[in-house]
Amino acid sequence: MSSETAGKVITCKAAIAWEADKPLSIEDVEVSPPKAHEVRVKILYTGICHTDAYTLSGQDAEGIFPSILGHEGGGVVESVGEGVTNVKVGDHVIPLYTAECRECKFCKSGKTNLCGAVRATQGKGVMPDGTVRFKCKGKDIYHFMGTSTFSQYTVVADVSIVTVNPNAPLDKACLLGCGITTGFGALTKTPDVENSNVAVFGVGCVGLSILQGARAKKCAKVIAIDTNSNKKDVALKFGATEFINPKDLPEGQSIVDKLIEMTDGGCDFTYDATGNIQVMRQALEACHKGWGVSTVIGVAPAGAEISTRPFQLVTGRVWKGSAFGGVKGRTELPGIVEDYMNGTLMVDEFVTHHQTLSGINAGFDDMHIR
Ligand SMILES: NC(=O)C1=CN([C@@H]2O[C@H](COP(=O)(O)OP(=O)(O)OC[C@H]3O[C@@H](n4cnc5c(N)ncnc54)[C@H](OP(=O)(O)O)[C@@H]3O)[C@@H](O)[C@H]2O)C=CC1
Ligand SMILES: N[C@@H](CCC(=O)N[C@@H](CSC=O)C(=O)NCC(=O)O)C(=O)O
Ligand SMILES: [Zn+2]
Ligand SMILES: [Zn+2]
């Protein structure tokens, strides 16, 4: 069965990022029908992630303009292109910026959630055939992260979408398209994390979700670190057992010294959820000699590099990273939605503000309210 609009161009509203570091502009866009192995989705809700703000600011090495940003969406399938078998018209879906084709070297490796099927074209802002599905004022508009959820309709590759429980409220479940899943997955998929000492740098959506994961995995000491002391209460609510503001430490004591002191030699696991390269170094160096593992999650500006003394690694600390929490979207995201539905994963608590599409720039400002 097909919808009335199937096969036709749909004209709808979208927020266009015409150039870096300028407000988004609400425009009429023409959204072409999906080609083979593509899906057109009516987006009902989207979150705004700090990565959208980062790309809009011009700091993303892959940032392309004009484009339609957004990657934390929830919607309903409007139509499907030829050969699409994994979703159907009317399905409630979450677009996936980390695809899962189940056929590429990455997917088959069993070692990573990264997928090679569409990543190269995704990074260039085009669909897998090298063309775009959006037009505005006669100009081609680029896609973003393979999702472009700041549009009333979007087109995604079939490997970049998953059907979820239709009873899940999409105004909240859309957040599982990035931040919450990223933090929760990064912690819960860490091997041997149970009963360990954990430090989480940055108490935003990602950091809070790491804290939730730490509680679920019954970690022993769970230390949240943020330069904003207003984050203490929420950190404790989501699973931190302690909170430190590095600015409050006595002169001469670094956050690394403090964490080593609190954990009898260093943390078993640390996570960066700030995107700050100095913090990434602190997170690594606060790990226990011999076995501590530090995971980089935050996204740093184009050109930024991390550094430490090689001795930190020689003496057994491990530096690694995680994208989308290591979660394989098509296989695992429906289960995470179920965790939300059965009350074992907090999601509603992350919704602090609502905006309509026309208020999207105010939505970006809302993220910075302390
Ligand atoms: N790898 C992945 O798959 C993903 C990565 N990300 C990235 O993760 C990062 C976190 O995202 P999100 O949680 O939404 O971001 P937020 O900005 O909401 O959270 C980051 C927190 O870190 C705090 N912070 C800043 N500097 C320091 C510091 N020196 N020490 C301790 N805390 C500090 C910030 O405080 P303040 O607000 O006062 O600056 C803020 O509270 C971003 O870089 C984002 O782009 C997001 C999703 C997926
Ligand atoms: N485009 C950037 C890197 C941006 C980045 O690291 N993105 C994360 C997701 S952030 C979500 O909010 C990610 O999953 N990276 C892996 C990937 O394959 O993109 C750059 O060029 O540095
Ligand atoms: Zn994101
Ligand atoms: Zn793949």
How confident is the prediction along the chain (370 residues), in pLDDT tens digits per residue? 457 999 999 999 999 999 999 999 999 999 999 999 999 999 999 999 999 999 999 999 999 999 999 999 999 999 999 999 999 999 999 999 999 999 999 999 999 999 999 999 999 999 999 999 999 999 999 999 999 999 999 999 999 999 999 999 999 999 999 999 999 999 999 999 999 999 999 999 999 999 999 999 999 999 999 999 999 999 999 999 999 999 999 999 999 999 999 999 999 999 999 999 999 999 999 999 999 999 999 999 999 999 999 999 999 999 999 999 999 999 999 999 999 999 999 999 999 999 999 999 999 999 986 5
Distance from the alpha carbon of residue 81 to the mean position of ligand 4, in angstroms = 20
Structural domain boundaries in the chain:
10-179+349-362, 190-321
- Ion ligand 3, residues whose Cβ is below 5 A away: 49, 51, 178
- Cα distance between residue 78 and residue 148, in whole Å: 15
Q: Tokens 């599409």 map to which residue? A: 357
Ligand 2 near 299 CB (within 6 A): yes
Determine whether 25 is exposed, middle or buried from the number of CB atoms within 10 Å of its CB (0-12, 13-18, 19+): middle
Distance 135 CA to ligand 1 centre (A): 33
Give the residue whose CA is nearest to atom 13 of ligand 2: 323
User: Is 178 a pocket residue for ligand 1 (Cβ < 6 Å)?
Assistant: yes
Q: Would you give the end-to-end CA distance of the chain in angstroms?
A: 48
Q: How far is 254 from 265, CA to CA, in rounded Å?
A: 14
Q: Is the CB of residue 201 below 6 angstroms from any atom belonging to ligand 1? A: yes
Pocket test for ligand 2, best of 51, 69, 274, 280 (most atoms within 8 A of CB): 51
Rounded Cα distance, 64 and 55, in Å = 8
CA nearest to 352, candidates 368, 340, 341? 368
The closest residue, in CA terms, to atom 8 on ligand 2 is 323
pLDDT of residue 1: 43
In ligand 2, the atom with minimum distance to the C-alpha of 50 is 12
DSSP secondary structure of 31-53: EPPP-TTEEEEEEEEEE--HHHH
User: What is the Å distance from ligand 4's center to 160 Cα?
Assistant: 10
- Per-residue confidence (pLDDT) for residue 368, from 0 to 100: 82
Please tell me the CATH code under which domain 10-179+349-362 is placed.
3.90.180.10
What is the number of the ligand closest to the CA of 256? Answer: 1
Helix (H) or strand (E) holding 16: strand 10-16
In sequence order, which residues have a C-beta less than 8 Å from that of residue 197 and are 6 or more positions away? 219, 220, 221, 222, 223, 263, 267, 268, 269, 288
Nearest-CA residue for ligand 1 atom 17 is: 204
336 lines ligand 1 (CB under 6 A): no
Give pLDDT, residue 3.
Answer: 74
The response to whether residue 221 sits with its C-beta less than 6 Å from ligand 1 reads no
Q: What is the CATH number of domain 190-321?
A: 3.40.50.720
Geometric angle at alpha carbon 66, from 118 and 30, rounded to 5°:
80
Ligand 4 mean position to 79 CA, how many Å? 23
Q: How many angstroms is it from 195 CA to the middle of ligand 2?
A: 30
